[in-house]
Amino acid sequence: MKRLIALALFLPLCAMLAIAGEGRSHRNTVTMNDDSPGDDCAQHLQVYNDDYRASARDEEVRTVPNQPLTITAEHNGGIQVTTWDKAEISLKLCKQASADDETTARKVLSNVKLETNGSNVTVSSPDSDNDHSLGTLLMVKAPKGATLDLSVHNGGISLNGFDGTAKAHAVNGGIALKKSTGTLSVEAQNGGISIKDCSGDVNANVQNGGLSISLPERWEGKGLDAHTHNGGLVVAVPKTLSTGVEIAGSEHTSIICKDDACNGAQRTWDDRQRILRFGAGEALVHATTVNGGVVVESREHSRGEL
């Protein structure tokens, strides 16, 4: 099955995957939502396609010991991670297929596998003719302090309420960090990164995509270091900000401060870069953009994350 993917990232995280197959006139859309409570696959994964008459769902659930894991999503699939109070790691693979008849859809689902091999977790799906559409989402529940290495290609990654150590890499997809803490290192190529109400030691890098940061009143931990190249930067600031923030852009960067977010801000403009400093206390939040504009606004009037 040949699929072309376009992804947009919103908050709550909705990785909208527009999938087109040869011989079909319409596109398939897979929606992955990280804001629904519980772990009902129907609430977190939806596949829409009016080309096909039938749809089927299935899921796999597996528990593995708490250990550093390397997790790779199905090509075009997503990963969502949360923290829970149990000692082991729970893996739940949600999958939904659409086809001309239910028998074909269920056959597709039977060939999509959640595989564990030591510390490696993968989701596999065999190549197929263009007779169906497929969406997958791997939901991970990890104990506090877990160590994870996450990868997606043409899909989204969400860490929501995670507390631990994580690396996340997305190609042609977005990453959302929400209410998460620990040591977090995330990288997106051709996709955006959204960071909201986080803490700890966070590093974020975007190549060809936007960066959205919604700050808490006080950043707890080592700090945030975030960069985007060929993408815009939006920073939403609470009314009471007790953490210092430094934002930098290249010499032609447009920096717009809205509402009262930049009251008392210090501006340093020279031939090499433009630097904006605001907030109180040590600058624990650093954000930069190259070839992109900057908007700083109050959280009360924020347009939402990229």
Q: Name the residue ranges covered by the structural domains of the chain.
A: 17-301
Q: What percent of the chain has pLDDT over 70?
A: 87
pLDDT at 22: 35
**What's the pLDDT at 94?**
96
Runs of H (alpha helix) within the chain: 41-44, 102-110
Find the mean pLDDT for residues 276-301: 91
Q: Which residues contact 118 (CB under 8 A, 6 or more apart)?
A: none
Give residue 16's pLDDT band: very low, low, confident or very high (50, 70, 90). Answer: very low
pLDDT digits (tens, 9 = 90+) for 89-106: 999 999 999 889 999 999
- What whole-number distance in Å separates Cα of residue 224 and Cα of residue 204? 8
Say if CB 121 and CB 89 are below 8 A apart: no
Q: For residue 76, what pLDDT band results from cuts at 50, 70 and 90?
A: confident
Backbone angles phi, psi at 108, to 5 degrees: -60, -50
pLDDT for residue 75: 87
Task: Report pLDDT for 13.
Answer: 39
- Asked if 231 and 192 count as a contact pair (C-beta separation under 8 A), the reply is yes
Q: CA 207 to CA 98: how far, in whole Å?
A: 33
Strand partners, 181: 163
Q: What is the mean pLDDT of the segment spanning 280-295?
A: 93
pLDDT of residue 78: 94
Q: How far apart are CA 111 and CA 91, in angstroms?
A: 18
pLDDT at position 35 is: 81
What's the whole-number mean pLDDT along residues 246-270? 85
pLDDT the model gives residue 12: 35
The domain 17-301: what is its CATH number? 2.160.20
Share of the chain above pLDDT 90, in %: 66
> What is the average pLDDT across 285-300?
93
**Average pLDDT rounded to a whole number, residues 222-240:** 95
Helix (H/G/I), strand (E/B), else coil: 69 = strand
pLDDT of residue 28: 56
Closest to 248 measured CA to CA, from 276, 219, 211? 276
Which SS3 state, helix, strand or coil, does residue 110 take? helix
Q: Which amino acid is at 151?
A: S
State phi, psi for 132 to the nearest 5 degrees.
-165, 170
Q: What is the tens place of the pLDDT at every residue in 171-192?
A: 999 999 999 999 999 999 999 9
Residue 215 is which amino acid? L
pLDDT(6) > 80: no
Rounded Cα gap, residues 107 and 64, in angstroms? 27
Say what the pTM is. 0.88
Burial 145-174 (b: 16+ CB within 10 A, else e): ebbbbbbbbbbbbbbbebbbbbbbbbebbb
Give the pLDDT confidence of 37-74 residue by residue, as tens digits.
888 999 999 887 778 889 999 999 999 999 999 999 99
Least confident segment among 22-31, 71-80, 115-124, 130-139: 22-31
Q: What angle do CA 260, 262, 266 make, to 5 degrees?
A: 150
pLDDT tens, residue by residue, 195-225:
999 999 999 999 999 999 999 999 999 999 9
Residue with tokens 């620990």: 182
What mean pLDDT is predicted for residues 267-293?
Answer: 90
């920096």: which residue's tokens?
Answer: 255
Among candidates 172, 161, 11, which has minimal Cα distance to 77? 172
